[in-house]
Structure 1
Amino acid sequence: MWLFFFFAVIVFLGFPTEFRAFMLQVRTENMTNGDYVYVVNEPFHHRTYYGNLTWMYGTQRDQEAEQAFKSVFLITSAPETNTHLQTLENELKMRSLRDFNFTYAPDEKPNLFAIASYECVIMFGIMLQHILHASVDLSDGSAIGRLFWNKTFNLDTGIIQFDEVGERKQDMIVQQFQKGDVWPTTILELSGSAELHENVTAIEWPVPFPPPNEPFCGYSGLSSACLPSDGNYSLTTIISCSVFALAIIATCAAAIKIWFGVLSHHEDWQTFVIDRKGLHPFTDSARASLIRTQISSIVYSFRRSRNDL
């Protein structure tokens, strides 16, 4: 699970269960009133391997989750419309039953990694024909990899395109939970090949969208616009303003620390704790420190995963 903070935008990379628990926590902190934009990425559509991104879990906190999810933008790949892919999926289900005595559930999708491997083999076979007729050093993997740049593959699973630096051109959509719907509504379509976007549905937001980068009362909540004019401030007033600042802070909170642990089998098995110390405007030095921290965390996680193998 990863969290990235960019001013009033918080990007969440993780599983749906974790994300719902996180949104319930920020709802408790009064951070879903429109001052913050929460962006979550769904890397692929699969109920088993990723889960269902929705606020409804059939629990007593569904109503809170519904209100919290109104501040969420969901970024995911566009729905697959290729009819040939359905034919391939049916073939995989048939062979799974025939060769391995494994039966898929009626609405279950085949293993997405099997489909990805199938695509890789087909693309490599296509490029292998080109490689064998080109003056390419077969021991130079980097040169062979560059042959995939600026290429379009018309596969029976769909069209796969790579740009001039080898990045895949993927059609994406941006969705939002509107009108209490259990599933999100598409508000924006992004074309990977044409590099264009098309508005589909208007954005619904608790306050005028987009929210300002800087809160009305400032990052500290002690702006002169929000303080009494007589200049006499009690300790209680200052503490109240500080607590209120947390709810409307519109900065990257480099000092926010997230701890999580398995507490119980209750729906709130994961608790997110927000450290209120050191909330401040996002600066270039803070950005550099945050990037270094994220890189170090990624390297540590990678090394730990290798040691577990």
Structure 2
Amino acid sequence: MICNKDRLFKLILWLIVVNKSATSTVTRRIKTINIATPGSLTVSSATGLPFIAPAIESAIQELQREYAGVFNWTWDLIYDKSITNYTDFPYSADDLVAKWYYKQRPPADLTVLLYAGGPESETINRLAAGWNTLMITSTATVPTQRNKELSPSWLTTGCCLSTNFVKPYVYLMKANNWTSLYLVVDAGTITTPTVARDVSDAIKNIKGTQHTVFTIPVGSRNEDTYDTALREFRRSSRVLFFFGHSDSLKALLIYVTLEPFRNIAMFGNLTSLVDKDEYLKRAFGSLIVVTIAQYINQPGPEATSRFAQWKSISSTEFNYTYRQTEQLSPHVASAYYTMLLLAEVLNETLEDNPDMNLLDGSALARRFFNRTVKIDSLSVYVDEAGERRTDMEIRQFNNETGDFETIIIQSGSNEKITQIRLLSWHGTGRFPSNEPVCGYAGNNPRCSQEGTWTAIMVSAVMVGIGLILATIGVGYSWRRYMAAQADFRSWWDLSDWRVSSSRTLMPCA
């Protein structure tokens, strides 16, 4: 009997323990999450509140339903009605955020500064770091973000970060042994000079490489500027990286460019003249495009289904109506995805550790590092420093379809290269070599040697045969000169095999 009572007591005790555990899971205290979005009311920037705020608002409404009984979401917009010019906002952003934080911030278990971001990101980041408050920018990033001593609680989830473009450029350089690069930067664009700076910094860190940066000043997209750039390029490099608007690209007829968005006024439409300009089609044969993977740049079905709602909210609350659906993508969709990502990671974090201190912004930020989260059919990968890495594409022009088609995809998470189709480069399957056959100035010793032997042979023949063959030799030289002039007029055709038929040299490997 004593033995049976002892067993019964243990059984009752075990049931009590299990029941207590189950109760604690079911009654997990509701956490109040306050989202604070600083910004400006301007519509001159794709990161203005009339674009970004509707996506965040609709996401909060959705999350309020999905996580009912788990999270209570609140939201504050931080702006100054008197600031209508986006360039003025960065100068007052930290003051606005500080006043809100100390005087208007509502009580919450967690406060998150979540906004698109721009030049103001660094000043707001200094505040967030001092408060140890989680900060997420859904568009912008700067080098400071990767320094976790200066930015311990800053994440960035934008699909089109400038640092994403560095890796495919580096891949192309290393895969083709390009050691002399020429960078042309159109200062009249918004994003591309930042990409050029990041690529330039990467080149500096690759041993044995050198590069020149040529800047097209604002308002200087003209023939004189292009002529100066091309003459300098011809003397010093074989590969030109271009960062700028598609109008500049089409005027310059260059080799490598950046086109992160299609059909958006900020970047232009690279294919707009393809069907009308046969000369441009020929030039596009020497053009490779580095860009965000198309499936990254296009919102998934969840975001797409909410475009109409976002337009309605913007019209009602900001008195602004979008002119076309494309304006909502991809920055606006990125803000929506950032909210979904935040909710998923927060829920997972509290399931793992219900007692975690959510006020520790740097510890919470680390919960996002080195992981992939599936959102709206997209795989969102955040790296070891809290920056989103996206797949990148290398595209080539297809003369038959009149469009640029993907030939290579580089994974954002592991940099793995996937060959979609073979490169077709002027009849071959390889990119041009680092240096022309006869050197940048045409004085490579192997070509000079050939010229010397040719001169000796011609002189011997002239002495033996006389004036008639001398005349033939002069005519031959004139033909070569005219061919060289033709080569210069088609400077953009970089193929090694465009060598005069009189030479027997093989193309460089």
User: Scaled by the length of structure 2, what TM-score is found?
Assistant: 0.38
Counterpart of 2:288 (choices 69, 73, 92) is 73
> In the alignment, is the contact (CA less than 8 A) between 2:406 and 2:421 conserved in 1?
yes
Counterpart of 2:261 (choices 41, 44, 51) is 44
Counterpart of 1:114 (choices 321, 332, 353) is 332
Corresponding residue number in structure 2 for 1:275: none
How far does residue 217 in structure 1 lie from its aligned partner after superposition? 0.9
Determine whether 1:64 maps to 2:294.
Answer: no
CA 1:175/1:111 → structure 2, altered by over 3 Å: closer, same or farther? closer
How far does residue 9 in structure 1 lie from its aligned partner after superposition? 2.6
Q: What SS does the aligned partner of 2:306 have?
A: helix
Distance 1:43 1:143 in 2: 33
Whichever structure has more helix as a proportion of its residues is 2
Distance 2:273 2:372 in 1: 40
Distance 2:322 2:241 in 1: 34
The two structures, once aligned, show a CA RMSD in angstroms of 4.1
Structure number with greater CO (CA < 8 Å, separation at least 6) is 1
1:67-146 map, 5 Å: 67-80=282-295, 82-97=300-315, 99=317, 102-105=320-323, 108-128=326-346, 130=349, 133=354, 138=359, 142-146=362-366
The amino acid of 1:146's aligned partner reads: R
CA 1:125/1:181 → structure 2, altered by over 3 Å: closer, same or farther? same
Corresponding residue number in structure 1 for 2:452: 229
Q: What SS does the aligned partner of 1:47 have?
A: coil
Distance 1:90 1:159 in 2: 24
The amino acid of 2:339's aligned partner reads: V
Distance 1:203 1:232 in 2: 39
Corresponding residue number in structure 1 for 2:373: 153
Determine whether 1:15 maps to 2:245.
Answer: yes
| Structure 1 unaligned regions, length at least 5 | 27-37, 251-309
CA 1:215/1:245 → structure 2, altered by over 3 Å: closer, same or farther? farther
CA 1:242/1:46 → structure 2, altered by over 3 Å: closer, same or farther? closer
> In the alignment, is the contact (CA less than 8 A) between 2:438 and 2:447 conserved in 1?
yes
> In the alignment, is the contact (CA less than 8 A) between 1:215 and 1:249 conserved in 2?
no
The amino acid of 1:198's aligned partner reads: T
How far does residue 176 in structure 1 lie from its aligned partner after superposition? 0.9
Distance 1:245 1:57 in 2: 23
Corresponding residue number in structure 1 for 2:270: 53
The amino acid of 1:187's aligned partner reads: I
Counterpart of 2:390 (choices 157, 165, 170) is 170
* Residue deviations 1:256-281 (CA, integer Å, cap 9, x gap): xxxxxxxxxxxxxxxxxxxxxxxxxx
How far does residue 242 in structure 1 lie from its aligned partner after superposition? 10
> In the alignment, is the contact (CA less than 8 A) between 1:85 and 1:158 conserved in 2?
no
Moved more, 165-174 or 104-113: 104-113
How far does residue 174 in structure 1 lie from its aligned partner after superposition? 1.8
> In the alignment, is the contact (CA less than 8 A) between 2:287 and 2:397 conserved in 1?
yes
> In the alignment, is the contact (CA less than 8 A) between 2:250 and 2:280 conserved in 1?
yes
Distance 1:54 1:249 in 2: 19
Q: What SS does the aligned partner of 1:229 have?
A: helix
Answer with 1 or 2: which has the greater Rg: 2
Q: What SS does the aligned partner of 2:282 have?
A: helix
Kindly tell me the number of residue pairs found equivalent between the two proteins: 230
* Residue deviations 1:227-284 (CA, integer Å, cap 9, x gap): 4226979xx99xx79987995999xxxxxxxxxxxxxxxxxxxxxxxxxxxxxxxxxx
How far does residue 221 in structure 1 lie from its aligned partner after superposition? 0.8
Distance 1:249 1:156 in 2: 43
Distance 1:137 1:242 in 2: 69
> In the alignment, is the contact (CA less than 8 A) between 1:188 and 1:200 conserved in 2?
yes
> In the alignment, is the contact (CA less than 8 A) between 2:283 and 2:493 conserved in 1?
no
How far does residue 15 in structure 1 lie from its aligned partner after superposition? 1.6
How far does residue 149 in structure 1 lie from its aligned partner after superposition? 0.9
CA 1:98/1:136 → structure 2, altered by over 3 Å: closer, same or farther? closer
CA 1:180/1:134 → structure 2, altered by over 3 Å: closer, same or farther? farther
Moved more, 216-225 or 98-107: 98-107
User: Scaled by the length of structure 1, what TM-score is found?
Assistant: 0.58
Distance 1:210 1:167 in 2: 31
How far does residue 111 in structure 1 lie from its aligned partner after superposition? 4.9
> In the alignment, is the contact (CA less than 8 A) between 2:260 and 2:292 conserved in 1?
yes
Determine whether 1:205 maps to 2:425.
Answer: yes
Q: What SS does the aligned partner of 2:398 have?
A: coil
The amino acid of 2:256's aligned partner reads: V
* Residue deviations 1:69-114 (CA, integer Å, cap 9, x gap): 1111112222337322321324323434555565545663425333
Distance 1:66 1:79 in 2: 22
> In the alignment, is the contact (CA less than 8 A) between 2:286 and 2:493 conserved in 1?
no
How far does residue 160 in structure 1 lie from its aligned partner after superposition? 1.2
* Residue deviations 1:117-176 (CA, integer Å, cap 9, x gap): 23333434444553895656846x555443321133333473311133434231222211
> In the alignment, is the contact (CA less than 8 A) between 1:169 and 1:192 conserved in 2?
yes
The amino acid of 2:242's aligned partner reads: F
